[in-house]
A = this chain, B = another copy of it.
Amino acid sequence: MGSPPPGLSWPLIEQARARIAPLIHTTPVMTSATLDARAGAQLYFKCENFQKGGAFKARGASNAVFGLGEAEARRGVATHSSGNHAAALARAARLRAIPAYIVMPHNTPLAKRAAVERQGAAITLCEPTQAARERAAAEILATTGAVLVHPYDDLLVMAGQGTVAVELLEQVADLDVLIAPVSGGGLLSGIAVAARTLRPRLRILGVEPAGADDAVRSLRAGRIVPCERPETIADGLRATVGVRPFAEIRRHVDDILTVPDAAIVAAMRAIWEIMKIIVEPSGAAAYAAVAEGRADLQGKRIGVVLSGGNLDLDTLPWITPARG
């Protein structure tokens, strides 16, 4: 039996806060009288869709890149990801003027590839399988000596994401509940450790799509149970929870709720129509759980993390486009 990996501690989050402050936005908190009335609660939306790069990922990636020592950093950073983490890592590397190596499946949407290219990262295309991604990344690490920055199973990344909660708890007094989506768990675990430290009696909830409910099942089983075939419109919530995030989630998160895709789409549309802001499906998941009007949330002051706003505006879930 190996010893458990070291956990995420509050000092790591405090350090992250100071380290990334010049590199990211302190995102605003928005409210809506209409959505409050619908939910029967007071909702404080933490708008990470307004974060640099359009998602909270800028926090963790910046913390990981700027947390490296000089010699280590000079060799560069690498990751295998097709999503927001890749672009965020490439941006952080550009800001530190070090190389970034990104492995992407060749079927990655062009828009996401372009976002990484704009940051000047070196892209390696591979077959769209987990094995091919890991093999390509291993080769890069071996030849360049670059440091792998995992999208979520990394304490510096988790600490960076945790700054979402640090900010929110400064911006809004007396929150009763904090609710955030969970995928690989970097965001939820960081938030949980931060919130548990700053406000021990806060209720901390995670949300995941019903079609990608590995975190719920893992909590129940007491060990990580991957979703073999995640099926959800929330493309940012398909990963399986990581080892380090899972340890913190077990310790600090009060419950994880699941929401069907229809509720995610309805929540996304309500946020667009009523709040006039763009969130991606993953970004709307936490509000989707709140919108169901669960009795135990009535009358509460709830911090709701809108995790990101990156999506292809040509294909909205409520519009069937004409065949080309």
A273's partner among B30, B272, B313, B318 (CB-CB below 8 A) is B313
Docked pose: A181 CA to B275 CA in angstroms: 22
Q: Are B319 and A54 in contact (CB under 8 A)?
A: no
Docked pose: A309 CA to B276 CA in angstroms: 6
Docked pose: A322 CA to B30 CA in angstroms: 35
A79 within 8 A of partner (CB): no
A40 within 8 A of partner (CB): no
Nearest neighbor of A308 in chain B, beta-carbon distance: B276
A320's partner among B54, B277, B278, B322 (CB-CB below 8 A) is B322
- Majority DSSP secondary structure for residues of A touching B: loop
The proximity string for A residues 288-310 relative to B, scoring 1 for CB distances below 8 Å and 0 otherwise, is 00000000000000000000010
Please name all residues of chain B whose beta carbon is closer than 8 Å to the beta carbon of A276 when the two chains form the complex.
Answer: 49-50, 54, 277-279, 309
Please name all residues of chain B whose beta carbon is closer than 8 Å to the beta carbon of A309 when the two chains form the complex.
Answer: 276
Nearest neighbor of A52 in chain B, beta-carbon distance: B33
Q: A49-B276, A277-B277 are in contact. Are A319 and B321 (CB under 8 A)?
A: yes
Q: Are A321 and B318 in contact (CB under 8 A)?
A: no
A319's partner among B269, B278, B316 (CB-CB below 8 A) is B316
A318's partner among B54, B277, B314, B322 (CB-CB below 8 A) is B314
A120 within 8 A of partner (CB): no
Tell me the A145-203 residues at the B interface (CB within 8 Å).
none
A229 within 8 A of partner (CB): no
A105 within 8 A of partner (CB): no
Please name all residues of chain B whose beta carbon is closer than 8 Å to the beta carbon of A275 when the two chains form the complex.
Answer: 50
A28 within 8 A of partner (CB): yes
Please name all residues of chain B whose beta carbon is closer than 8 Å to the beta carbon of A313 when the two chains form the complex.
Answer: 269, 272-273, 316, 318
Docked pose: A320 CA to B319 CA in angstroms: 9
Docked pose: A54 CA to B314 CA in angstroms: 23
Docked pose: A319 CA to B315 CA in angstroms: 8
Please name all residues of chain B whose beta carbon is closer than 8 Å to the beta carbon of A321 when the two chains form the complex.
Answer: 319-322
The proximity string for A residues 22-66 relative to B, scoring 1 for CB distances below 8 Å and 0 otherwise, is 000000101000000000000000000110001000000000000
Nearest neighbor of A312 in chain B, beta-carbon distance: B273
Please name all residues of chain B whose beta carbon is closer than 8 Å to the beta carbon of A318 when the two chains form the complex.
Answer: 313-314
> Smallest CB–CB gap between A292 and chain B, Å?
22
> Smallest CB–CB gap between A272 and chain B, Å?
6
Nearest neighbor of A50 in chain B, beta-carbon distance: B276
A to B CB contacts below 8 Å, 19 in the list: A49-B276, A50-B276, A54-B276, A269-B313, A272-B278, A272-B313, A273-B313, A276-B277, A276-B278, A276-B309, A278-B278, A313-B318, A314-B319, A316-B316, A316-B319, A320-B321, A320-B322, A321-B322, A322-B322
Given A272-B313, A276-B309, list of 18 further CB < 8 A pairs? A28-B28, A30-B50, A50-B275, A50-B276, A54-B276, A273-B278, A273-B313, A276-B277, A276-B278, A276-B279, A278-B278, A313-B316, A314-B319, A316-B316, A319-B321, A320-B322, A321-B322, A322-B323
Residues of A within 8 A of B (CB): 28, 30, 49-50, 54, 269, 272-273, 275-279, 309, 313-314, 316, 318-323
